[in-house]
Amino acid sequence: MAKTAVHFGAGNIGRGFVAQFLHASGYEVVFADVSDELVTALQSQPSYQVHEVGEGAQVRTVDGYRAINSRSHEADVIAEIASADIVTTAVGARVLPFVAPLIAAGITARTGGAPLAVIACENAINATDTLAGDVHRLNPAQNAVFANCAIDRIVPEQRGGGLDVTLESFFEWVIDRTPFHGSEPDLFGVTWVDDLTPFIERKLFTVNTGHAAAAYHGHLQGIATIREVLGTPALQAEVRAVLAETKTLLVAKHGFTDDEQQAYIEKTLARISNEHLPDTCERVGRNPLRKLSRHERFIGPAAQLAERGEQTPALLRAIDAALQFDVPDDAESVELRALLASDRSPAELVVEITGLEQEHPLFAPVVGVMQDSVTRTVSKGTVSKGMTDG
């Protein structure tokens, strides 16, 4: 009997990374998405191609899939989950609460067999735990296994439209094996580990931190692409300074050797400046409020370093650059500009934006950065044009 995977999220990461790996693992992929345009395209096109660029470049074909609109055909999605072997997501961490009811209903509809494997492939720490919490509040049944994972693959802004996806050849998909008790699913390209935390934090605090630092410093200087940022000696030095600080944390906390982490940094810098993936500072910098939150790529490592008595001047400069990100068609950028222009004090803004506790050793330094941002905003006297009343 053929294996079936229900995958929520038919965007570029969903099609180009997760679904392609599920297809390579022998699963029939059933896409679930709320976009009529994407679902219709998948229903009308029997295959699409994934173009891997860079070292080991190749083209892979994905076919034999189906697609369902999860907003207008909820019952069909639930029926697919009821008979599926695995459910994966690539929808964005904030969307997980909206797919949880469908997964819960699908689990309820299952009539036996092996437990459903559920893996949230999101760019967030322990996203599957978040999803599991939402599902269990609706259905406390135990006939599903939820496993956290860490995924790492650069999928830049796509040009030309269509279902084909261009992405880097490098990938890392690491999944916690412990919830499966020796019966983990057979998945192409996956590294199974007993302790996921070192891999999650190494990726988040190196790849995501470095990428975002380059984007915010570059955008502040009017530079368009990440590659151009890293080709500018002063800005490359700024990004390297950030990664030197996160390296201190990762080596001390997780036992990576100095040479091992430095090699990972060099590989990361080569990846994000790949000439075949001309990513922009504006795209990478989008959603600054999420990226400035408590356990994310800047505040997360800076807070842990502060708790260890370490200074974090480069991370603080990156936070300052992120606070200046001003892109009128990015909703979080507009919201950030409005917050900085409000009557809240810098300390109140630090609590609201970063989630730092007032007694935390990083709190005072970030308040200082926030004060500078507020002063700059007030001196300009304007908020981004994308701002609306209400």
Q: Provide the CA 73 distance to its chain's centre, in angstroms.
A: 27
Residue 112 has a pLDDT of 82
Residues 26, 163, 90, 25: what is their CA dihedral angle, to the nearest 10 degrees?
A: 10
* Residue 28: pLDDT over 70: yes
CA-based torsion, 360, 362, 367, 370: positive or negative: negative
* Domains with residue ranges and CATH for the chain: 3-193 (3.40.50.720), 197-380 (1.10.1040.10)
* Residue 386: pLDDT over 60: no
pTM: 0.83
Q: Kindly state the average pLDDT of the residues 151-166.
A: 88
Residue 305 has a pLDDT of 98
Contacts with 21 (C-beta within 8 Å, 6 or more apart), sequence order: 173, 187, 188, 189, 190
pLDDT confidence tier of residue 2, bands split at 50, 70 and 90: confident
pLDDT confidence tier of residue 133, bands split at 50, 70 and 90: very high
Alpha helices in 84-221 (DSSP H): 96-108, 127-138, 197-203, 209-220
Contacts with 137 (C-beta within 8 Å, 6 or more apart), sequence order: none
* CA–CA gap between residue 240 and residue 4 (Å, rounded): 44
* Residue 89: pLDDT over 70: yes
Contacts with 232 (C-beta within 8 Å, 6 or more apart), sequence order: 218, 221, 223
Query: Distances from the Cα of 42 to the Cαs of 71, 79, 102, in angstroms?
Result: 16, 19, 21
Within the chain, what is the greatest distance between any pair of CA atoms?
67
Contact 349, 338 (CB under 8 A): no
Closest CA to 247 of 315, 168, 154, 175: 315
Question: Which pLDDT tens digit goes with each residue over 180-214?
Answer: 999 999 999 999 999 999 999 999 999 999 999 99
* Residue 361: pLDDT over 50: yes
* Residue 383: pLDDT over 70: no
* Residue 387: pLDDT over 50: no
Contacts with 349 (C-beta within 8 Å, 6 or more apart), sequence order: 339, 340, 370, 374
* Residue 362: pLDDT over 90: yes
Question: Which pLDDT tens digit goes with each residue over 256-311?
Answer: 999 999 999 999 999 999 888 888 999 999 999 999 999 999 999 999 999 999 99
Which residues, listed in sequence order, are joined to residue 30 by a DSSP beta bridge?
6, 66
Contacts with 130 (C-beta within 8 Å, 6 or more apart), sequence order: 93, 96, 120, 124
Residue 385 has a pLDDT of 36
In the sheet that holds 58-63, the strands lie side by side as: 58-63, 47-53, 165-168
Provide the mean pLDDT of the chain. Answer: 94
Question: Which pLDDT tens digit goes with each residue over 239-269?
Answer: 999 999 999 999 999 999 999 999 999 999 9
* CA–CA gap between residue 245 and residue 262 (Å, rounded): 12
Residue 1 has a pLDDT of 57
Alpha helices in the chain (DSSP H): 12-13, 19-24, 36-44, 74-83, 96-108, 127-138, 197-203, 209-220, 226-230, 233-254, 258-272, 281-285, 288-291, 299-307, 313-323, 331-340, 346-354, 363-380
Residue 56 has a pLDDT of 83
pLDDT confidence tier of residue 384, bands split at 50, 70 and 90: very low
